[in-house]
Each structure stands twice: as C-alpha cells, then as structure tokens.
Amino acid sequence: VDGESTTKISGVVDMEAFLEGSLGAIPELAGLGDAGFDGAEAFGDTRAVFYISDSTYLPVRALVDLPIDVLGEEVVLHMDFAYTSFNKRLTFPNVR
C-alpha cells in the first residue's frame, strides 16, 4: 500500500452476538435483560479487511461493510479508511 509492505487481515464479525456479548459485560446494562439488546438484531454480519504495515504494525487501510436493518430494509454502511500519518500535529483552518 503506497509502496509499503503490508499484511492483509480479513474476516466476518457476527455483530449481533458481538454487541450482545459486549453490552452484556457492562454492569449498568446487565440489569436491563433482553430489552437492553433489542437493537443488536438490526446489525448483520460485518465484513472487515485491514492492511497492517509490516514495519510499524499500524493499520494503513481498513474496509468495513456493516449491514443494518432499517424499518425492514437493509442498508449497508461502507467505510473505507486510509491512515496517512500517525503522531503528527493536525492544524485546522480558522473558519467562522
């Protein structure tokens, strides 16, 4: 990627199980029972691909496809990340 040697890691995440398991570990949500996890059913299996730098072991690219059920229709949120620098100061223009 951009002339840098990388390793590709890809897989599929069962988002419903992941969210139920993750949120179940939060004590404040554990008391809600099944009602606290109704939203997890809206998420489908998520495909993720990461390209990791062989020299720094930092991610340089990531692709994620997250299917979401919205009112009975499936919408796929496609995220494509490109990391071009790390630990560098960011400057923002003064916009008013």
pLDDT in tens, 21-50: 777 677 665 555 554 445 677 888 999 999
The reported pLDDT for the residue numbered 9 is 96
pTM over 0.85: no
Q: Strands 59-70 and 73-82, how do they pair?
A: antiparallel
The reported pLDDT for the residue numbered 31 is 55
Q: Could you read off the pLDDT of 42-95 as tens digits, one per residue?
A: 888 999 999 999 998 988 999 999 999 888 899 999 999 888 777 788 788 887
Tokens of 2: 């951009």
Tally Cβ neighbours within 10 Å of residue 3.
Answer: 4
**Sequence-ordered list of residues with C-beta below 8 angstroms from that of 75, at least 6 positions apart, any chain:** 67, 68, 69
At residue 17 the predicted structure's pLDDT band, cuts being 50, 70 and 90, is confident
CA distance 36 to 45: 20
56 backbone φψ class: left, alpha, beta (φ>0; ψ -120 to 50): alpha
CA distance 18 to 22: 6
The reported pLDDT for the residue numbered 30 is 55
The reported pLDDT for the residue numbered 37 is 47
